[in-house]
Amino acid sequence: MDGSGFEDAAARADPHQRGLISHCYRMLGSVTEAVEVARGNATYEAATRECLERATTRPLPTDLADASDDPQGKLQQRSEVLWLEPFPDDLADGNLVDLSLIAALQRMPADQRAAVILHDLEQWSPDRITNLLGPIDLPGARASLRPQPGHQINRPALAAAYRDAFEQYDVPAILTFFAADAIWEMPPFTSWFRGPRNIGRLISTHCPAKGPGDQVLVPLKANRQPAFAVYMRDPTDNIHRAFQLQVLTLTAAGIIHAIAFFDLSLFPTSQNS
What confidence tens digit (pLDDT) does each residue in 138-194 have?
999 988 887 765 678 899 999 999 999 999 999 999 999 999 999 999 999 999 999
Q: What is the pLDDT of residue 187?
A: 97
Q: Is residue 19 part of a domain?
A: yes
Tell me the C-alpha distance between 141 and 223, whole Å. 23
The arithmetic mean of pLDDT across residues 58-69, rounded, is: 95
- Among 86, 111, 143, the domain boundary falls at 143
Q: What is the pLDDT of residue 75?
A: 94
Q: What is the pLDDT of residue 6?
A: 44
pTM above 0.75, yes or no: yes
CB 248 within 8 A of CB 86: no
What distance, in Å, lies between the first and last C-alpha atoms of the chain?
14
Distance of alpha carbon 70 from the chain centroid: 24
Give the DSSP letter of residue 92.
-
Segments forming the whole domain that contains residue 215: 156-266
Percent of the chain scoring above 90 in pLDDT: 84
Q: Is residue 4 part of a domain?
A: no
Tell me the C-alpha distance between 234 and 215, whole Å. 10
Count the residues in the chain. Answer: 273
Instruction: Mark whether 164 and 90 lie in a shared domain.
Output: no
pLDDT at 1 over 50: yes
Burial class (CB in 10 A: 0-12, 13-18, 19+), 269: exposed
Total count of domains within the chain:
2
Per-residue pLDDT reduced to its tens digit, 220-250: 999 999 999 999 999 999 999 999 999 999 9
Instruction: Mark whether 167 and 228 lie in a shared domain.
Output: yes
- Among 108, 143, 178, the domain boundary falls at 143
Q: Is residue 273 part of a domain?
A: no
Instruction: Mark whether 244 and 121 lie in a shared domain.
Output: no
